[in-house]
Each structure stands twice: as C-alpha cells, then as structure tokens.
Structure 1
C-alpha cells in the first residue's frame, strides 16, 4: 500500500500530477531512521514546553539508559519510537500478567541502570511509550509531512509548474496538523516501575494516559496522580505509616535524618513516589503542629543527636510553641517513645535544678542585724559599717550581743 494513498488516486490528466509524483517519489525514499528522527525532533520540541505543575522535574526523550539523568526528582522518560508497547505481549497468569514489550523491557533497563552504572534514584523514573498499533499511522503522517516539505522547498529546482510550491505548502500544513494529532494518539502508555516489597522483583505497571489536554506530560501526570503513582502532597500521618511499615528497620535506632529518608524514598521502588523533596519537607514540618494523637500517628523532630550524652539536640514535640524554621538534611525524625522519654528526663532535670536553687537561697547567711543606736539616737555611718562587719555600735560581735541578751 502506498504510504500516501491520496496521491495514488491522482489521474494522469490531473494538472497537479507532476507535483504529486515528486512528493510520492521522495516519500518512497524515506527510511525508518529518517522518520524516527523527525518524530524524536517533534517529541523534544513538545517536551521542552512542559510545565512544572504536571508533577515532573523534567521530561526527556530517551533511547539509551544514559539519556535519562540519575536525579532524585521524578522525571518522565518519553521513549524513542523504536520502543513500542503492545498490551498483547504479556506472559504469566491472567491474574498476574507480566508485560514483555520492548517498551516494558526498556523501562526495566532505565530503572536499573544509568549508562554503565547502577541507577541510584530508581524510584524517580516513569515512562511514556508509543502504542504499537497506532505507530504505523504516525509514521505514515510523518512520511507525508516530510515529502510535502521537500516539494515545497524544491519546487523550482524540480521544474514543477507555477504555483506548485504554494500548493505543496498547503499540503505540508495539513500533514503537520495530522502529525501533531497522531503523536497524542500514539503516545498514551504510561509504564511505572513497581515492587510489592523488599524481596519481590521489580515489575512494570501499565496505565493509560488520559485527559483533554494537548500536553503529553500533563496527561501522564494526571494519570499517575489519579492512580497514586505520583505523590505531590503528603502529610505526617502518611510518613509515619511508611516508617512503621516498609521503613521500620531504618527507624529502629530511634531516629532517621531527613537526608537519609529522602534517599530511601527516591531509591526504593516499593515506597511511594514523591515528586520532589519539598513534599517530604512539608510533611515533616507539619508534624509539629499536629498534636492530636501524635504518639501513634506522628513523630518528633530534632536538630541533631549527642552520642556522648545520648541526647537529642533541639528536640521539638508536636504542640511545642517553636516549630523548626526549616528542615534540612541533618534534621532528625524522632520516634515518639524516645522523644517523650527525653522530654520527661529534661523536665525532671530542670525541676531538680530549680529545687537546688531554692534550697541554696534558703541557706544563705542571714542579713546582718541593724546596729544599736548611739547615745544621741542617730544611725551613724560608723554604726552601719560595724554592722556590715557583724559588730554592733560598741564594736562587739552581734553574736555576743545575742548571748548577753539571753
């Protein structure tokens, strides 16, 4: 079948036969690599216009594993057109199908490696792949666009009739619109690396990108958020569930730093996929204001830990008046039992210190008594000086005066 079927219907008597023949001949010369290069060019142009609100740090058109940077924030990898997905290509049981299409296999490679090195941030990868059944129509549209582009640019050197360039540009514009529509209709498979638990192998969950928007990234983002595969907001209760569940071993020591926790979220594919670090930071900061039932659903924060004293520095419990100004890598997420234990110890030490201070004041030397008045009845400076030295106005120790009085 002709790659440009509408051209084949032209009769020899048609005044535009030469124009059509030139376009047809050029279309037949186009190889797969040239067609795919044009698709990649259009994808890259399309992805450069993505907005941050779609939930992705960046959007990349990817062929090799080295083409996707190894960063902590979630990225969308739009696959090269040679990596097609066919939902019929699965193995396993009906209850647990395993996709084995080129797109699914490449998704696993992207998750595992960055070039020749193991990928660190494996939980920051999601993939958008082209559909194997729609791809031929996209390729045909691209072939037609390139053919009319060639004729429009080369009408005069090709010796085509007057007005051929204008007619070719009109066909090129129509083909261009068709290619844009076909891109949206072809790139709709969202492939997500998933893992049931620490012991399970990494698999691929396949979703269908939906939405009325003309942005591929926005469609993928909407689908991922709706399916819970891309988290753009999370509260302290959800973080606590993770700490009590899949992260319980990491939290067993009594605390974990924000930096360590973020590394775990970005690297372990059995954890929720947080879009970026700000999601985690906001969840931790909100914990101090969430006082209700916090010992069972929340946690405390600390600035650091003194190993020598086995004590947390800058400990803050939910309900404290001074929440942290900001959380940083060294901020510690502290287990409630450890935080409460230290708070009780700190309060007991503070109360003991206060009692010692009061007891010290109670045992201070009494204020020296006022001196006796001199015979003239005047309280003289000399008498006051004598009293400051513990003597009366006659120069006798005040103790002697008290004994003589007895």
Structure 2
C-alpha cells in the first residue's frame, strides 16, 4: 500500500508556502491590535478565531469572562501565569475580540458554543483598556487629546471614559499616587461592562528604583494601585481583569523584577483565578490551524495514521510502549500532518530551555521546516523528527539559537549537510542512502538530545524513540539500527550509554581516538600488530613452520611443509593484477640470494585487497583506544567515570572487531602449480586461489579443510595413486626400480607432482601397497642383477633410506617367478643328491671313490650354490654396531637376518644384546640413575656399573 505524502493532503498557509512570514508575526502584540495596526490575522476577529484553536484552558477562561460581562458570575481577576511562550497574549487577544463585539458571535469559530454553555444569548459590547508594561514608560507622559497622562491608572481611566473618566483620577495621576479603591470602583461601575487587559506588568514595575519617584509614580504606589484595582473589581459584577505575569524569576529579569513579580503575585493571588496552560495535545491543533489551511483528503490522512499505528503494533518490540495503545492512533490524527513525536520533543525537551517560547517557538520553527520541506518536494507521509531539514541554514540557525554556543559545527559535521559524516556514509552505502537512514537518525537524535539543562538527570534519547522518529510503514527498523551502529563508530560528537544516544558540543572520545590514530604508521606500528594477531589464531600443527611477513631469505628451503603469510601490502585481488602473486613468486623462486629448490613445500595465505584498508583502520582504532585506556589508568587523561567506562568498552569492542577483520581480510589461500605436458616440457607456474570461510571458528582447521578439499595437500594417499605417479615419472623402460627417498624428495621439489603433508604419508602409502601385488615390490638394494632383501606381495617393515628400492609390479612379478623357479630347481637337485648318496654307500671301494661328473649349472639371479653337506640345524652370529647408527643397523639386522628365521615354522630364535661402555672420567650419578631405571623398565638381565 502506497501512502500519500503529507503535501498532497495538507496544504500550508500561503505565507508558510512562500516563506514570506516574518518572525515577529508569530508574536501576538496586544497593543498593536488595540491601536488597529496589527496584521489581519490578529486584527480581524473572524480570521483570528479561524486560526485559533480554543484549548480547554482558553475555553474555561472565555466562559468565565462571558459570565462576568453578562453579570452571571465569573472571576473578577484572572492571572495568566505560564512559561515563556505559553500563549498568554494570544489568550488575551481572544478575550479582546470576544468582548469588543466588532464581529457577531456566529462568525467566530468556537465562540457560539461558549456562549451556549454560559447560557448567554448575546454578549454585551464592553469597553476595553489595554495596559502594556513594555509600551508604557514610567517617566515619560503620554499625550491623549492634549492631555498628558503619566500613570497606569491615568491611562486606564482615559481608555475607559476618555476625558470624563480621566477626571476621576486626574489628581492621583498628577501626583503619582494611587487612587483609592472607591475612586476605582466608581470608574469601573460607570463604564461597565469593561475588560482590563494588563500585559507585561512586571516589565513596567521593575523600572522604578527604590525610593525614587518618577512621573509614573513609585514602586509602592504602583503596587498599591494593583491592590486597590483588584479589590474594586470584586464590587463591579460586570468588570473583569486579565493580567499576565511571568512564571519564572529568570523571565522577571533583575532583582527589582523578581521583587516586583513576588509582590504582584501576592496581590493578584488574593483574588485571581489561575489559567490552565496549553497542553501538548492541544498544541497539535494550535500549530495545525496556524500553519495549514485545511486537510483536503481526510480519508487519506486517516489511512496514513492507521498505517503508522498498525506498523507500530506489528513491531511492538522496536517502539515505545505508548505506541501500542489504541489512543496513539487518535494522537496521530490530531497531530497530522506532523508526527506526535515532533511535538513531544519540542514541548517536553526544547520547552525546558529558558528562552524557548512554547507555542510561539514551535510555530516559528515548524513554519521554516514546512516551507523548506515543501520547497524540496518532500514525499514523506508525515513530518517526523527525521524529516527536519537541518542542512537548511534558516532551520538550523533557528534551532541552534536556543542552544549554548558550539552547536553549529556539531550539526555541520555530524548531523546534516553536504560536509556531514552522515552524508558521506550514505554516499558510500546505497542501502543506507536510499532512505537517508544516517541523516534521519542523526536528526532525530539531535532533536531529542540537544536541549540540556542543569537539573537533567539522564542525557539522551532512547533507541526506541530514535526508531519512532525515523521509521515509516513498509521499512525495516533494522536498517536504522544499522545506521545508528555506523554513526556510533564514525561520529565525533555522538555519545551513547545505557541504550540512549545524545549529541554534545564536547567531542566524544572518538575524536580523541581519531586524533591518536594518525600517529601510527603502517610498517612500523600497524603491520606488527597484524602479525601478532595472526600468530595467535594460527596453530602450527599442520605445518612444519608458519612464517608471518617473513623475508624470502628467512623462509627455510627444506622438506618441511611451510605456510607463508604475506604482509597486507601484498594483498590478493581476484579481479586484477595481484601483488600477492608477485610477492609469493619471489619467495617461491628465491631464498634470499640463492635459488629455492623445495618449491612444492610452500603454501601462501594472503589478505583480501578490498579489505586491507579497513583492517589497517581497525588496527589503528584499536591501538588508539589502547593508548587512551592506558593513559586513563596512569592518570594522564582526566575523564569522568562514564567516559572511562566508555573507553574500556570501546577498546573491548575494537578488539572484537579486529579479530573479525583479521578473519575477513586474511581469507585467500594461494598455491603454485605446474603442468607437465608431453613433448612440451613444463608449463609456466600457475597460481590457484581458494577462499577461506571467515565465519569458521578455527582458522588453522579451515585452512586444512580448504587444502584437503581442493587437493592442494595430501594427508592420506592411496597406493594406486603412488603407483601411477611412479609409472608416469620414475619407472623407465630400461629401469624398473627407483629409490623412494628420491621420489619423496622430487615431490617436495616439483610443482607438477602431488604435495604431501610429510614423508610419513609417503611411507604409509608404501606400506599400504606392500601387501598387494598390484602396485610395487621392494628390495633393500641391488647388486648386479640381484635384488637384496626382495619382498613382493607381503607386509614388510620399510625404512626409507638410500638403499630401499621400489620396483615396478611387472618387474617384481617376473623376479619373484624367477626366484620360485630357482628354488624349485634347488629343491629337486637337493633331493637327487640325497638319493645318489644313499645308493653309493653299498658299492665297492673303487665305486665309492668315484666322483660323479655333473653338467655345468645355469646361473639364476639371487640363487646360491646348493649345499653339498648334511643340513645344519643351528646358527650363531655376532656383530659390532656403531653406537651412533645402532638404531638403523639393528633394524637392518632384523629385516635381513632375523626375519629369515622367524618367517619359517619350527625355528626358535634367541637374541641377546651385550652393551659395554667405558669412560676414563667416570659416569656421574645422574647418568647412572637414568640408565639403571631404563634398564629395569626394559627388563635387562644384567645392568651393572663398575
């Protein structure tokens, strides 16, 4: 549902539209109306009442005045004592036009109902006297028809009865002494019904110096006149007095003004009827009547208000509780086209300022707001706190006028305007800019937080009220919350605490932080912090070494798998030329000044090019907050408790943000690879890149996941893949075996070969393939045409040294067949020899000495000469081992000798180890104790030191 903009429903008055209104026009001037020189909207009774909303307080007052003038009761004295700008003069004008009777009651909107309620058919025309304390001068007589009038009572008598009335008080006027109660009673009775309107009386009386007599009398004589007048009014049933007095001592002015206010309040208080001030709800109608002609489409206005009310109900957790009440819809209707929150802020917050006039100040401000919004073709359905065009100089100046000095740069830099931070944020982020989320949010906070008084206990505006001042039906409240978070990070004068936000003329700690950020340089300060942070989140379990921002000469060229973390100034960009590739290429090819050989042992971690600048900024912010907190602890920075807590919280938040930024920035794994093309040699080095998951909890585990999933690193390998690699690259036509140690080393060097995690992966693959005849055979060496320690198709213990050979499966099968044929022939020959020996034992001596001639034996690889004597049934061997190489030699001994026996059934094998150690210096106690304990654990039969 599309809501109509307010400008299509409510039309402002012509002077508001054109901006031709004058500030003074909003100040009702009782004297100008009385003299007939006021503007039509105040001078013309019909126009005045058309634009005047009769509030509850005004209705009660007019009812009392009507009854008094009609002789049906009513209060003789009414004191109008409200805050500055509370509508006192406007109320006096209503009484003035009503009592003067220049227009019939039926032409004055709202008046007939008052007459009916008072049961007055026709109100008699009354004489009116207006005493203006600002216009009158205590020491300057006024000439009226040639008569010099000096005092208030002289002016009162002249206005009621001209020369005849003045004659009653002429002597008192000439002497400056107050006329008695009886004289004033006679004056009022003779010219009743009458209305006396006294405005700004304190401003007049405070001009009399103590003990000094002026032409207008003295301080005491004027107080006596007031007392006598109020007493006289009680005796005249059709005479009424309305007097306005300021509410506060500050409005009273000097000490004499305060004294005058106290004295006048005392005398008026004896008889007065206090007037009820304008309520906030009534102010809705007052402002609307004065600023808008009418509502063209009341149904459309109701639809707008209903949409807002439903929107608040549907998002109840986001808005103040009052918006959930059914009567909030009625408030919206009464305030339309202005949002009630505007009135709440102006009447509750801005009216707390001493120099802000309640109704008059609101009218002046809203007239400028409406004029500018109309000029800018504003399309909002309501005029909200977030709508205030603070970029407009007139609107901004009108608000700042009421505030202490220093607010202009706050608005220009942080709130609204081309140079404001809010505008810059929205220009960079179209999601926020599409609804002016930052500017609207800042305006709402400014309107709700700029007024600050000494007695104010809590600063700022709640988050719910910020949302109330900006969010509109159809919008997500979350976008304004996002904007507020962005503002809290960027603005200099915005403060927050306890879910409240406020602007202040004092720069917040963010300004201090921003100033300190400029101290830190990239390579000297920022990069070391990033290196330390990365070091904390990376574990070296997968890698033999992790090298963070390390020069190529300091990255070892060995068989260990190594992760090289490139510095931020060598970032990776998927969209263009990448400095990361250039830097990684340098490290890959060179180790300092020397060429690098084990190129396939390097993996690189690089920063994202688009995120580096934000990471560096976040590092600077964190470092700045850290220095601020340190200075606070060392008493180098004098802050209040709230700011100290805010600094600690900001440091904590900055650290959290930095942890996230590290993960979001260092997210690219890049690895080199080559392709070997038949007949064309090796391709150029190509760099593969893969993105890490910034949300993963463990960075090291996520790196391992990416490496495994994309086969950049092999941690478990099937024998079939090893066999294929050996067939493709190592088993040649003439050579069917290769040293696996050489193969492993080539995988560490050549980028076209698989990258294994470590040599144990290679050994495990060899061992897994040993039991099968499909992959390869093994030998512990080769002499001429014979394999030493040959095994094929059975599990065996492998030690990957220079002697170990891995044999192509076809060659291994052929060699195993040859061994089997040779063994079969050997067994057959042994059996024949045994038979021949048995039959020759019974022959003659000549035959016994006969030597049988045998044909020459064909040589078979790996076949020893057949035994020519009876089988031997026992074996004993001894060997001296090198103490340094004993572990390897003993393993060879087990594989080459002992397994020959243990592999056959029925063979019992005993092994004894004899160790002798001598030292001319003797063995210390620690060595003796360690050796004895270890020998006991290993169950030595003998273990003695001599």
TM (normalized to structure 1)? Answer: 0.78
What SS does structure 2 have at the residue aligned with 1:274? coil
- The answer (yes or no) to whether the contact 1:85–1:132 under 8 Å persists in 2 is yes
Q: Which residue of 1 aligns with 2:650?
A: 171
Task: Summarize the Cα distance change of 1:175–1:272 in structure 2 as closer, same or farther, 3 Å threshold.
Answer: same
Matching residue within 16, 24, 40 for 2:531:
40
Tell me what 1:326 maps to. 798
Deviations 1:165-198, CA, capped at 9 Å, x for gaps: 4432221111000000011111111111010114
**Residue 735 of structure 2, aligned match among 249, 253, 271:** 253
| 2:810 paired residue number | 337
Q: 1:189 aligns with which of 668, 678, 690?
A: 668
Query: What is the CA distance between 1:356 and its match in structure 2?
Result: 2.2
Which residues in structure 2 correspond to 1:159-308 (within 5 Å)? 159-163=637-641, 164-197=643-676, 198-210=681-693, 212-249=695-732, 253-291=735-773, 294=774, 298-307=775-784
Aligned-residue offset at 1:23: 2.2
- Unpaired runs of 5+ residues, structure 2, are 1-420, 425-485, 496-501, 846-946
C-alpha separation between the residues in 2 aligned to 1:368 and 1:267? Answer: 69
Larger radius of gyration: 2
Offset at 1:252?
5.2
Report the Cα offset of residue 365 of structure 1: 5.5
Match of 2:624 among 121, 125, 147: 147
- Counterpart of 2:837 (choices 359, 364, 370) is 364
Contact kept? 1:184, 1:214, Cα under 8 Å: no
Q: Shift of the alpha carbon at 1:228?
A: 1.4
Partner residue in 2 for 1:375: none
Distance (Å, rounded) in 2 between the aligned partners of 1:9 and 1:276: 57
Paired residues, what number? 347
Offset of residue 157 of structure 1: 4.3
Structure 2 counterparts to residues 116-135 of structure 1, below 5 A: 116-135=593-612
Distance in 2 (alpha carbons) for counterparts of 1:56 and 1:223: 14
RMSD: 2.8
1:67 to 554, 557, 568: 554
CA–CA separation in structure 1 for the residues paired with 2:719 and 2:535: 38
Q: Distance in 1 between matches of 2:807 and 2:702?
A: 38
* Separation in structure 2 between the aligned mates of residue 65 and residue 108 of structure 1, nearest angstrom: 10
Q: Distance in 1 between matches of 2:826 and 2:692?
A: 64
Is 2:796 the partner of 1:346? no
Map of 1:12-27 to 2, 5 A cutoff? 14=504, 17=507, 19-27=509-517
2:566 maps to 79
Q: Point out where structure 1 has 5 or more consecutive residues left out of the alignment.
A: 90-99, 370-388, 391-406
Q: Distance in 1 between matches of 2:493 and 2:751?
A: 54
Cα deviations by residue, 1:263-302 (Å, 9 ceiling, x for unpaired): 01110000111111111111111112224xx1xxx11111
Contact 1:108/1:203, CA 8 A, preserved across alignment? no
Compute the displacement of 1:218 (Å).
Answer: 2.1
SS, match of residue 347 in structure 1 = helix
Q: Cα distance 1:115–1:365, how it changes in 2: closer, same or farther (>3 A)?
A: same
Q: Is the 8 A contact 1:44 1:60 kept in 2?
A: no
CA distance in 2, matches of 1:359, 1:15: 117
Alignment partners' CA distance in 1, 2:691 and 2:804: 39
TM-score norm. by structure 2 comes to 0.35
Give yes or no for contact 2:493–2:503 (8 Å, CA) kept in 1: no
Cα distance in 2 between the residues matched to 1:268 and 1:159: 59
Question: Does the 8 Å CA contact 2:667/2:694 hold for their aligned counterparts?
Answer: no
User: How many angstroms apart in 1 are the aligned matches of 2:838 and 2:608?
Assistant: 93
